[in-house]
């Protein structure tokens, strides 16, 4: 090993996944090698109008593309693989290493997004060992809400790192056991930095086993007399298999609705993770011929996403499904922080249409989280015995609670690091230090646009929704360097009461200020005029209404008898 590699710090940072639930993207980097762990999305909240997905900003990866050795996927959930198509459009990734079911889901995703570039997808399992540049990787199986979920053990020239991926410690899992003995072995060898899932850091005790959900689902089937519509995450393969098995037990045909649900079931069937006879999996055209008590509809939309199937059904906009009296609609999920209002809105609309809506509770037991609660987090600390700890995947309060839990388990406070996206930790000679930041942001995917929308555009949309818009037309004579008319003020979605009075007042004040500006003797540009309009009008509107509408100045030039719009912001007025 060269002396330079030994001297080069190993930097650890997140481009997504900190101060938020979702959008996971973590990087391990030194002077010659960079590996990426996961590349996920967040689904939009109510304050993100027109947005379909939120993804990490890939600027730092674009700038360091030559160092990238691979993208490693811990498991197949959307918050860990959903951003891959957008990453591949901007960055050349030499290899994507992923577990079997994740590879199937990624392939379907790339086909749906029409990614035609040849992608080198390589399957790994618990016995795999990888050498990627200066880093060596091993894997250990963890229990989660999707099969083939893994944590990663990374050897670097400066020390060792463990990244758990999403996990819980389920002692009666529906698939393979958590490799606790392997984690203990890594702990015996020494873990310099542990990065662990924080999603359930607010919940005391242990997360229930996935097997506990089976009885709750069976109870719902026993009591439902009409159609059953069950909504769950399309990547929750274990849950979908349980619902399918119970449907077969109660002689109900299964109809999968929604592109991601259909695609994921198809992928999971191809790899043997979902087992269902062809005769039981039917299309939406069967809705007309089957009796209501012979139908199970599997769909997406547990988080109230506006374009998901369940939301469209609640608005009466789905082409195949309308709510009927006797329908039972089941939310087999937990609430992702920030989505409560959206979910409640959908539930209320479905109930108003006559459906019996059932959500997860202590009485129904329709969902078991895939994330560790506090006792499992404590157990992880005791088994891994890390020298340093960085909580990941969670909102700030979750990261903070997880960090305190690690301190309670014996870690020194100075060895626990609560970071935000972009914060850099450096691993040097088995010790960890805070050393700086890298560029990070959120980008927004709007409809079919492959180019993301900036944060400023989302802020503008929110302003239009919450505050309204005011257009102000200013007509000038550039030859005489004077205002031709008093500014015309027109508002949309802003003011109604006393509307004309406020508009006239703003117009009068603007006339005075613009005349002062144009007679000041200095070289006045269209930019100067627009800035004056925005500043003066914005101040006036706030003073009069305590609102901040979007102010859009439109400057027009007067020539002879014509008025012409001039978009050149830098052209000076003679």
Indicate which residues carry an active-site annotation.
197, 371
Q: Among positive and negative, which fits the CA dihedral 393, 395, 180, 160?
A: positive
Which two structure tokens, joined as six digits, stand for 258? 């929604």
List alpha helices for 304-424, DSSP H. 309-314, 340-352, 374-384, 396-408
**Cα–Cα distance for residue pair 540/211, rounded to 1 Å:** 62
98: Cβ–Cβ under 8 A, 6 or more apart, which residues?
A: 72, 73, 76, 81, 106, 121, 122, 123, 124
Closest CA to 280 of 241, 332, 224: 241
* Nearest to 224, CA basis, from 96, 44, 357, 91: 357
d(CA 539, CA 555): 19
Nearest-CA neighbor of 60 among 437, 318, 377, 556?
Answer: 437
Other Cβ atoms closer than 10 A to 300: 24
What is the strand order of the sheet 328-331 is part of?
A: 281-282, 253-256, 295-299, 228-231, 328-331, 356-359
Structure tokens at 489: 């003020």
| Cα separation, 139 vs 272, whole angstroms | 22
| In contact, 351 and 156? CB cutoff 8 Å | no
CA distances from 127 to 109, 130, 137 (A): 27, 10, 11
Q: Which of 131, 27, 115 is nearest to 71 (CA)?
A: 27
The answer to whether residues 455 and 441 touch, using CB atoms and an 8 Å cutoff, is yes
Among 111, 90, 63, residue whose Cα is nearest residue 452: 90
């Amino acid at each position: 090993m060269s002396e330079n590699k030994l001297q080069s710090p190993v930097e650890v940072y997140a481009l997504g996944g900190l101060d938020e639930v979702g959008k996971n993207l973590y990087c391990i980097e030194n002077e010659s090698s960079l590996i990426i762990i996961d590349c996920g999305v967040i689904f939009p909240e109510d304050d993100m109008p027109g947005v379909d997905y939120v993804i990490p900003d890939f600027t730092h990866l674009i700038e360091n593309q030559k160092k990238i050795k691979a993208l490693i996927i811990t498991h197949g959930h959307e918050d860990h693989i959903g951003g891959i198509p957008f990453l591949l459009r901007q960055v050349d990734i030499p290899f994507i290493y992923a577990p079997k079911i994740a590879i199937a889901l990624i392939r379907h995703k790339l086909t749906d997004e029409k990614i035609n570039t040849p992608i080198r997808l390589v399957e790994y399992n618990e016995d795999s060992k990888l050498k990627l540049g200066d880093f060596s990787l091993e894997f250990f199986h963890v229990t989660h809400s999707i099969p083939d979920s893994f944590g990663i053990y990374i050897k670097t020239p400066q020390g060792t790192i463990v990244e758990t991926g999403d996990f819980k410690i389920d002692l009666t899992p529906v698939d393979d056991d958590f490799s606790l003995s392997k984690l203990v072995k890594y702990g015996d060898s020494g873990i310099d930095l542990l990065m662990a899932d924080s999603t359930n850091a607010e919940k005391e005790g242990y997360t229930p086993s996935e097997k506990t959900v089976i009885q709750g689902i069976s109870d719902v089937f026993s009591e439902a007399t009409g159609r059953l519509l069950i909504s769950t995450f399309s990547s929750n393969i274990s849950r979908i298999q349980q619902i399918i098995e119970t449907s077969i037990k109660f002689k109900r045909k299964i109809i999968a609705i929604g592109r991601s649900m259909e695609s994921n079931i198809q992928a999971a069937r191809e790899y043997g993770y979902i087992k269902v006879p062809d005769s039981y999996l039917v299309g939406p055209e069967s809705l007309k011929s089957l009796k209501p008590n012979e139908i199970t509809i599997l769909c997406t939309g547990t988080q109230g996403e506006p374009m998901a199937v369940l939301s469209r059904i609640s608005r009466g906009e789905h082409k195949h499904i309308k709510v009927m009296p006797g329908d039972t609609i089941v939310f087999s999920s937990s609430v992702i922080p920030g989505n409560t209002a959206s979910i409640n809105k959908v539930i209320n609309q479905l109930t108003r249409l006559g459906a019996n809506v059932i959500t997860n509770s202590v009485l129904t037991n329709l969902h078991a989280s895939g994330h560790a609660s506090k006792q499992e987090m404590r157990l992880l600390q005791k088994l891994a015995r890390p020298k340093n700890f960085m909580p990941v995947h969670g909102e700030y309060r979750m990261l903070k609670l997880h960090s305190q839990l690690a301190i309670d388990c014996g870690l020194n406070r100075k060895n626990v690091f609560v970071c935000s996206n972009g914060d850099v930790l450096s691993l040097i000679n088995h010790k960890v230090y805070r050393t700086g930041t890298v560029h990070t942001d959120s980008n927004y995917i709007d409809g079919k646009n492959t180019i993301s929308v900036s944060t400023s555009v989302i802020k503008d949309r929110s302003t239009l929704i919450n505050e309204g818009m005011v257009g102000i037309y200013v007509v000038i004579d550039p030859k005489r360097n004077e205002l031709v008319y008093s500014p015309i003020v027109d508002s949309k979605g802003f003011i109604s009461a006393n509307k004309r009075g406020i508009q006239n007042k703003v117009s009068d004040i603007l006339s005075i200020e613009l005349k002062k500006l144009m007679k000041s003797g200095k070289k006045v540009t269209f930019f100067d005029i627009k800035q004056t309009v925005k500043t003066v009008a914005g101040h006036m509107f706030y003073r009069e209404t305590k609102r901040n509408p979007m102010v859009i100045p439109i400057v027009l030039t007067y020539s002879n008898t014509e008025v012409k719009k001039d978009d050149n912001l830098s052209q000076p007025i003679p």
